[in-house]
Amino acid sequence: MKEYRAGFTLIELIVGTIIALIIMAAAVIFFSFGYRQMDTTMKTSRGNISVFNVIEIIDSDLRKAGYGGVASAGLIPVSGTGTLADPLTIYFIDYTKTGCDNQTWTNASLTCKYKIEYYLNNNNIIRKVYRGAIGSGTAASMFDGNIVTINTFNASVDSNNHTVSYTITGKVRNETFSIGDKVICRNW
């Protein structure tokens, strides 16, 4: 009488293993391609959003220029061209801080006074904040240098009309952009 053995032969196991390896390799390739695409898209989106966020921050600081009678204290509320040698410089009293309501530049405490500088350095815009409008200040890059590269930052101050125009050109990943704004400094 013949005996039957249940199970797989060595050839069947080898073929099954090869098929499983091919399926797993395809899944890994598909996942890594999808991940790279998603990573590129996310970084590009983050870079584009950061450009608009920086514009909003600069505009917000420019709108505050001159708060607290800066000009009557003998300072120019906004000056500069945005270079390291001639940064775009903004002076104001921060009325959102506790105890700074109705303060003027001549009688405000140092915690109310601010000087902010913007300038291009190493393909990035630097925002340097001087709390008390004195001292060395604290500088921070406005962009992630791995995603956004800034080529130019140019500012133009019109002291007659109390406006500031600026443009920023650069790249988000491999896409070039040029953006800018014109802000009326109403407190000058």
Instruction: Assign 1 a pLDDT band (cuts: 50, 70, 90).
Output: low
**pLDDT at 138 (0 to 100):** 92
Mean pLDDT check: name the lowest of 1-5, 142-146, 162-166.
1-5
- 159 occurs within a structural domain: yes
- 93 occurs within a structural domain: yes
Identify each DSSP E strand in the chain by its residue range.
78-79, 88-93, 113-121, 124-131, 138-141, 148-158, 163-172, 175-184
**pLDDT, tens only, 18-77:** 999 999 999 999 999 999 899 888 888 989 999 999 999 999 999 999 989 998 888 999
* Residue-range definition of the domain harbouring residue 153: 44-184
Whole-angstrom distance, CA of residue 160 vs CA of residue 184: 11
* CB-CB contact of 66 with 174 (8 Å): no
Domains in the chain: how many in total?
1
* Average confidence score pLDDT of the chain: 92
SS3 8: coil
Whole-angstrom distance, CA of residue 124 vs CA of residue 147: 11
- 86 occurs within a structural domain: yes
- 104 occurs within a structural domain: yes
Describe the strand order of the beta sheet including 124-131 as a list of residue ranges. 78-79, 88-93, 113-121, 124-131, 138-141
- 21 occurs within a structural domain: no
Whole-angstrom distance, CA of residue 117 vs CA of residue 73: 19
- 134 occurs within a structural domain: yes
- 152 occurs within a structural domain: yes
Entry pTM: 0.81
Joined tokens for residue 162: 């109390």
- 109 occurs within a structural domain: yes
**pLDDT at 7 (0 to 100):** 76
**pLDDT, tens only, 90-132:** 999 998 889 898 889 999 889 899 999 999 999 999 999 998 8
Q: What proportion of the chain, given as a percentage, has pLDDT over 90? A: 70
